[in-house]
Amino acid sequence: MATDMYNPSDEHLMIREMVRNFVEEHVEPQALEYDRDEKFNLELFRSLGELGLLGLTADEQHGGAGMDATAAVIVHEELSASDPGFALAYLAHSMLFVNNLSVNGSEEQKARFLPEVCNGEKIGCMAMSEPDVGTDVLGLSSTAVRNDAGDWVLNGRKMWITNGCIDEDGTPADIVWVYAKTGVDERGRTQISTFLVEAGFPGYSVGQKIMDKTGMRASNTAELVFDDCIVPAANMVGEQGSALSHMMRNLELERLTLAAMAVGISRRSLQAMNRYADERQAFGKVIRDFGQIQRHIGESWAEYRAMRAYLYDTARRMTLGESGHRLDSDGIKLFATTAAKNIADRAMQVMGGYGYVGEYVVERLWRDAKLLEIGGGTIESHQKNITKDLAKDPDAILR
């Protein structure tokens, strides 16, 4: 019997059906409102913890579900077919914080923090980008220095942080995975270290909630400020200077799940234009009979099927906590994110004026899709990485 690439086990199928039902009953009814009002549905988000989704890839010992990359892809695809902004908040919490901690944290740190972020009691995020720094990680200006007590004094500003604030009052995330410079090593190379900053630490605050975004409006984006913020020594993750390895271990999963969001957006856009092609008539025919419409639908179908197969094949071969999948994690994000934007654009074109208003969903998907070409690594960075990796391993083309 052939294996179902998209639901390779009964457990994967169960997760898909559970999330799809949850989306239909709870996510879809609120999606338009929360996008329009630029609000994060915190109550609905916490309920994901009751389903075991917030700690999806974390180990069971600390409250996680212990699932694999394919499960992560399934959840992001299903959520994004309805509300990509809500899905982005989920990604920032479950992948950028929870999975990061599960893979890279000490046993003491995992025991202390994972249960509360897995059940939704606390909301987490990851802070790397800064007002003047994005892809260039070594260009970070945030710093942390030891004080006389042996703790760390953190200073800097972080920008574009999903889940940086969790409500309309500017309440900061409960716990933040923060990257900062901690000096140079014996060879003069910049050291980047990782810190767990908790709400209530003096000097940790929200600078601003970022408003008027093009898309992903149902997730809160914030600037975070660290002003002589005292971080206990026990809240450093790993050794001083080990942050780059933390990034590499988690970045591939981040890019994979961002690509899964693109697949969800593409699926919903394709459904919308395909249905509308039978509902609308022009010149005495349903518009499905016109060659221009057939091109939009046909190309979208082919791209959707190609990206979905590439996505799940990459997920199948990815081992969480291990690097070495960059060629395809970058490849699928490069392809899927741009294709999703194009498919949503075609859906708007097929639906005409109806595609241009919020009630019919696709204009929101179109706006949301653009961020996927920027966040988690720009498409230009993926092009660079793929070219470099193929120079080192040209035989990858034959495998």
Contact 37, 71 (CB under 8 A): no
Query: Max CA-CA distance within the chain?
Result: 82
Q: Which residues contact 15 (CB under 8 A, 6 or more apart)?
A: 67, 71, 74, 75
Residue 209, SS3?
strand
Rounded mean pLDDT, 358-374: 96
The pLDDT mean for the chain works out to: 95
Task: For residue 61, give both structure tokens.
Answer: 């010992």
Other Cβ atoms within 10 Å of 66 Cβ, number: 16
pLDDT higher than threshold 80 for residue 2: no
Domain boundary among 94, 118, 142: 118
Give the pLDDT mean for 281-303. 96
Residue 5 lies in a domain: no
Statement to judge: residues 202 and 254 lie in one domain: no
- What residues have CB less than 8 Å from 19, skipping those under 6 apart? 51, 53, 74, 75, 78, 79
**Which of the residues 130, 254, 303, 363 is marked catalytic?**
254
* Domain containing residue 235: 124-241
Assess if residue 323 is contained within a domain: yes
Give the pLDDT band (50/70/90) at residue 45: very high
pLDDT at residue number 38: 96
Query: Do the strands 124-127 and 175-184 form a parallel or antiparallel pair, or are they unpaired?
Result: parallel
The answer to whether 65 and 115 are in contact (CB under 8 A) is no
Above pLDDT 90, what percent of the chain? 89
Is 57 in contact with 72 (CB distance < 8 Å)?
yes
Claim to verify: residue 290 and residue 385 sit in the same structural domain: yes
Read off the pLDDT of each residue in 216-229 and give the average, rounded to a whole number: 98
Q: How many residues can be counted in the chain?
A: 399
4 occurs within a structural domain: no
Report the Cα 83 to chain-centroid distance in Å: 13
- Cα 149 from chain centroid (whole Å): 37
Tell me, yes or no, whether 237 and 248 share the same domain.
Answer: no
Tokens of 46: 């916490």
Highest mean pLDDT among 9-23, 136-150, 180-194, 231-245: 9-23
Strand intervals (E) in 219-264: 221-231, 236-237
Asked if residue 176 lies in contact with residue 126, where contact means CB atoms within 8 angstroms, the answer is yes
Which neighbouring-strand residues pair with 138?
none
Whether residue 277 is found in the same domain as residue 199: no
pLDDT of residue 321: 80
Residue 187: per-residue pLDDT: 82
CB distance 191 to 184 below 8 Å? yes
On whether both 287 and 377 belong to a single domain, the answer is: yes
Q: Is position 347 within any domain?
A: yes
Boundary-marking domain end, from 180, 214, 241? 241
Give the span between the Cα atoms of 77 and 307, in whole angstroms. Answer: 12
**Contact 125/199 with Cβ under 8 angstroms?**
no
For residues 302, 364, 99, 139, the Cα torsion angle rounded to the nearest 10 degrees is 100
Q: Are residues 177 and 139 in the same domain?
A: yes
Q: What is the pLDDT of residues 133-166, one digit of tens each?
A: 766 677 789 999 999 999 999 999 999 999 999 9
CATH code for the domain in which residue 213 is found: 2.40.110.10
Residue with tokens 């600037």: 223
Tell me how far CA of residue 95 lies from CA of 59, 71, 215, 264, in angstroms: 13, 12, 20, 17
- Whether 244 and 269 have beta carbons less than 8 Å apart is answered as no
- Would 345 be classed as within a structural domain? yes
Tell me the CB-side half-sphere exposure of residue 2, using CA atoms within 13 A. 3
Q: Which of 141-145, 187-191, 193-197 is predicted with the least confidence, judged by mean pLDDT?
A: 187-191
| Same-domain pairing of 65 and 191 | no
Q: Provide the angle, in degrees to the nearest 10, between the axes of the packed helices 84-91 and 28-36.
A: 90
Residue 364 and residue 348 share a domain: yes
Strands 236-237 and 221-231 come out as unpaired
**215 and 313 in a common domain:** no
With bands split at pLDDT 50, 70 and 90, how would you rate the model's confidence at 186?
confident
On whether residue 358 sits in a domain, the answer given is yes
Name the pTM for this structure. 0.96
pLDDT the model gives residue 1: 58
Q: Which two three-digit tokens encode residue 344?
A: 């949503």
Tell me, yes or no, if 254 is annotated catalytic.
Answer: yes
Q: How many domains does the chain have?
A: 3
For range 217-221, the mean pLDDT: 97
Contacts for 268 with CB less than 8 Å, ≥ 6 apart: 80, 81, 82, 361, 362, 365
Instruction: Provide the terminal-to-terminal Cα distance of the chain, rounded to the nearest Å.
Output: 25
Same domain, 174 and 98: no
What's the CATH number where 321 sits?
1.20.140.10
- Give whole-number Cα distances, 288 to 37, 73, 352, in Å: 35, 32, 14
Within this chain, do residues 25 and 63 fall inside the same structural domain, yes or no? Answer: yes
Residue 399 lies in a domain: no
Give the CATH number, domain containing residue 100. 1.10.540.10
More confident residue, 171 or 134: 171
Q: What is the mean pLDDT of residues 76-102?
A: 98
Percentage of the chain lying above the pLDDT 70 cut: 98
Chosen domain end from 194, 225, 241: 241
Residue 3 included in any domain: no
Characterise 283 by phi-psi region: left (phi > 0), alpha (psi -120 to 50), beta (else): left
- CA 203 vs CA 142, 200, 273: distances in Å: 14, 9, 50
Question: Average pLDDT of 179-196?
Answer: 90
For residue range 25-44, list pLDDT tens digits in order.
999 999 999 999 999 999 99
The answer on 21 and 96 residing in a single domain is: yes
CA distances to 216, 259, 334, 376 from 379, rounded to whole Å, are 18, 12, 6, 9
Residue 135: how many other CB atoms lie within 10 Å: 13
More confident residue, 2 or 224: 224
Statement: residue 295 has pLDDT above 80: yes
